[in-house]
Amino acid sequence: MIPAPDTPPSQPVQHLSREELGELVDVVIQVGQAMLESGAAGFRTEQTMAQIGLGLGADRVELYVTPTGIIATAISGHEQRTRVGRTGALGVNMAQTVALNRLSRHIALLGGTLPAVRRHIAAIHSAPPEQPAWATIPAVGIACAAFAQILGGDWLEFAAAGVGAGLAQALRLILARLRVNAFALTVACSFAASLVAAVLCQVLDAPQPELAVVASVLLMVPGVPLVTSVIDLSSNDLVSGVTRGTLAFVLALSIGIGVAMTLWLTGLDIVP
């Protein structure tokens, strides 16, 4: 009879202390706030937060995420810590969203410790924009100008829409740096874009000025909130979906207010 091999004694499971668990939840909340403020969908935010919490040593992470606030609980052994965080203004920064999601997927390769993760999060926060203003301003102008031609405009409408959209993009960067309210920013930029486009059309005697006016405010269309609203609703996350949908509606209404101000000042009629 062959004796059974000796089985090595099982290693005791290392659990996090209350202090470590509290720091872990703080990091998870910080990541979630940055994801939401960058325009990430609710399910993607929860997924990224959970992966980071588990990667840092928690046994389980329970999350409740809305566009305006987060409740996070991390559990390790018999200890658990809960934190509540409030989200700031919602914006769009897909580069930051991708970087944080990549961090959650490769957390073990980056050291898997709280100090290391904090350093990487700080580096992501402080990273400069991927494209400088001198590149984005003309790029936005050309994109909106091309939309004027897609609508059936000529080169005059192309030029008017491009100049108006480029100036609006420059104004948006300035107002965003000053942390102006998103709705006031949208009204101001839509008004500036449409006014410049309408005035240029009058100066150039463009035959279809309404196309230039419509195309010039294309950059203000809330595409990311609309898309994430649909994603959240399809994921049965009704709170986030309805909230983002409402945000997109109010931003679209703000665009209309800015354009209406231009039409009132110039007397232009864009309704066929």
For the stretch 120-156, pLDDT in tens is: 888 998 888 888 888 999 999 999 999 999 999 999 9
For the stretch 170-191, pLDDT in tens is: 999 999 999 899 999 999 999 9
Tell me what pLDDT residue 189 has: 97
Tell me what pLDDT residue 18 has: 82
Structure-token match 């309408």, residue found: 198
What is the domain partition of the chain in residue ranges?
18-126, 133-266
Tell me what pLDDT residue 129 has: 82
Looking at residue 182, its amino acid is A
For the stretch 70-114, pLDDT in tens is: 999 999 988 889 999 998 888 888 899 999 999 988 887 766 688
For the stretch 19-61, pLDDT in tens is: 889 899 999 999 999 999 998 988 899 999 999 999 888 999 9
